[in-house]
């Protein structure tokens, strides 16, 4: 049912119906922002990229040819906009993956450890090559399929799998390096594994 109504909205928007186009934009705005945030790494850059992406979607709706799903087309525009923006900024990325490590009621010490782990992840992601970083983000954080990532990034499924595997391996290496360099905490712990 949703696909049928979305297809009707797309067709109406392509014929110039601004209300239909506005409804499509509203339906995809949060998805566009989420992908932009994951790729750009901070709120300000993500907001700019999402806005640019939505403007491009608005301008290009008449050119959508249904060769892929509408969501894939939207993600492709968003992905390209983010990659263009990153190229301009030359990797000045600070990741804010607040949902990467969650706990409902952490103690102050656990919260500090979580923040430290997040910081390690931010630094490791930031140091990945852009192709590897985007593939890992699209697959492991956004949950896209290999096929969707191939369409979004404009490369073959084999290349996508390779970039994901290489990106994960490099990320793993970087995280292990960071952990090995970290001094071990020598404080005593209680029976629940918490520091005294």
pLDDT of residue 196: 57
Range of the domain at 161: 95-196
pLDDT of residue 104: 57
Residue 76 near residue 154 (C-beta atoms within 8 A): yes
113 lies in the same domain as 127: yes
Q: What is the CATH number of the domain that holds 159?
A: 1.10.10.10
59 lies in the same domain as 114: no
49 lies in the same domain as 86: yes
pLDDT of residue 183: 52
Query: Measured between alpha carbons, how far is 116 from 110 in angstroms, rounded to an integer?
Result: 10
In the numeric block, the tokens 């102050």 are attached to 108
86 lies in the same domain as 112: no
Query: Could you read off the pLDDT of 100-144 as tens digits, one per residue?
Result: 445 456 678 777 777 787 777 777 887 888 889 889 888 888 888
pLDDT of residue 195: 57
pLDDT of residue 40: 83
7 lies in the same domain as 58: yes
The list of the chain residues with pLDDT below 50 reads 1, 91-101, 103
DSSP 3-state assignment of 184? coil
């Amino acid at each position: 049912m949703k696909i049928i109504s979305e297809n009707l909205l797309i067709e109406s928007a392509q014929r110039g119906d601004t209300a239909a186009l506005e409804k499509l934009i509203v339906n995809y705005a949060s998805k566009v922002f989420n992908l932009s945030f994951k790729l750009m790494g901070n709120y300000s850059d993500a907001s700019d990229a999402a806005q640019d992406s939505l403007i491009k979607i608005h301008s290009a709706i008449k050119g959508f040819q249904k060769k892929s799903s509408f969501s894939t087309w939207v993600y492709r525009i968003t992905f390209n906009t983010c990659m263009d923006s990153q190229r301009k900024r030359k990797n000045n990325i600070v990741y804010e993956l607040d949902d990467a490590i969650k706990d409902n009621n952490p103690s102050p010490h656990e919260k500090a450890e979580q923040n430290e782990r997040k910081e390690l992840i931010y630094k490791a992601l930031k140091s990945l090559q852009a192709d590897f970083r985007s593939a890992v983000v699209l697959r492991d954080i956004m949950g896209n399929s290999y096929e969707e990532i191939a369409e979004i990034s404009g490369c073959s499924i084999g290349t996508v799998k390779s970039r994901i595997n290489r990106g994960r391996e490099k990320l793993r290496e970087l995280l292990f390096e960071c952990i090995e360099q970290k001094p071990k905490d020598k404080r005593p712990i209680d029976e629940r594994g918490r520091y005294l």
